[in-house]
Amino acid sequence: MRTWLLVLSATGLSACVTINIYFPAAAAEKAADKVIDEIWQVPAGQSPASSQHSAPTATPVTPSATPVTPTVNPESAP
């Protein structure tokens, strides 16, 4: 009976050790999504960023409506 307990606890412990070696697929997917978004969002993220930089100076001026339209075009083109 006690030996079984010992065997059981030993098995339990070794099982725990193996868990640590498993590849965390869900976490990897989450990390991959984050990295891909960061890398691929540059063109989409850059145009709002550049428009943000120009926006504070550009909003009071009326002809600034023109810089806004080019940012829309690349998105609707593909």
Partner 1 sequence: MMRLLHNCSRLLQLFLRQGYHTLKVGVFLGCLAMLFEALPVYAAADLDVNTPAVAAVKASMQSRHLQLLPHYQSGTVGLTADGFVAVKEAGLVPLSQRSALAALVKDENTDRARLYQGMAAANGHPEWEGEIQRTFAQRWIDKAQAGWFVQRDGQWVRK
- Identity of the residue, 18 or 62, whose beta carbon is nearer to partner 1 in the bound complex: 18
Q: How far apart are CA 50 and CA 47, in angstroms?
A: 5
Q: How far apart are CA 26 and CA 5, in angstroms?
A: 34
Q: What one-letter code names the amino acid at 53?
A: H
Cα torsion angle, 7, 11, 17, 21, sign: positive
Report the interface residues with partner 1, using CB under 8 A: 2-3, 5-6, 9-10, 12-13, 16-17, 19-20, 23-40, 42-43, 46, 78
Least Å from the CB of residue 55 to partner 1: 21
- Identity of the residue, 44 or 68, whose beta carbon is nearer to partner 1 in the bound complex: 44
Least Å from the CB of residue 60 to partner 1: 30
